[in-house]
Amino acid sequence: MKNLTELEILDDDYDLFCILADDEKIEFLFDALTIGVSDSMLKQMYKPKPDGLSVKSSSTEDISVGPNRLCICVFDDILTLNSDSLRVIRAFVRKFFRDGFILVRTNEIRKEKDFDIYKYFKAYNIYKTGNPICEN
């Protein structure tokens, strides 16, 4: 059995570790020491969840839009947009609306200067999805 100081947890494993409950974190660390980090991660991923609990999903994408960049982050019902062009953010929000998403701007989420490297930042709550809207 390894010592905690000898344990090496990589980025993907750490991302999983962050979304676990406190008791699951202890179990993850114990299993990582005894059966290995990758097997411990797989055990946590495929462990059945009790009814009523859901795993939070998130995705991030950084794309080029002409000469500008746009970072799109979606966390369950929250959409954050970070870009070096306000025009690109507005165009993306309009496209999202035309695709049937109802977005409401939120000021509760603030720009983190260490992580959000682009000049403009907007955060929205995604309230509902519906059918795409035709402008004709």
- The answer on pLDDT for 72 being more than 80 is yes
Instruction: Give backbone dihedrals phi and psi of 105, rounded to 5 degrees, phi first.
Output: -65, 140
Domain co-membership, 74 together with 35: no
Buried b (16+ CB within 10 A) or exposed e, 84-109: bbeebbeebbeebeeeebebeeeeeb
pLDDT of residue 55: 52
Query: For residue 134, what is the DSSP state?
Result: P
Split into its structural domains, the chain has a count of: 2
Does 70 share its domain with 36?
no
77 in the same domain as 14: no
Note the pLDDT of residue 117: 77
Question: The domain containing residue 66 runs over which residues?
Answer: 58-129
> Would you place residue 135 in the very low, low, confident or very high pLDDT band (cuts 50, 70, 90)?
low
Pair (79, 107) in one structural domain: yes
Return all residues near 9 (Cβ < 8 A) that are at least 6 apart: 17, 32, 37
Name the least confident of 15-24, 33-42, 98-107, 127-136: 127-136
- SS3 of 120, please? strand
Q: Show the tokens assigned to 50.
A: 């009790």
User: pTM (2 decimals)?
Assistant: 0.54
Are residues 39 and 75 both part of a single domain?
no
12, 75: one domain = no
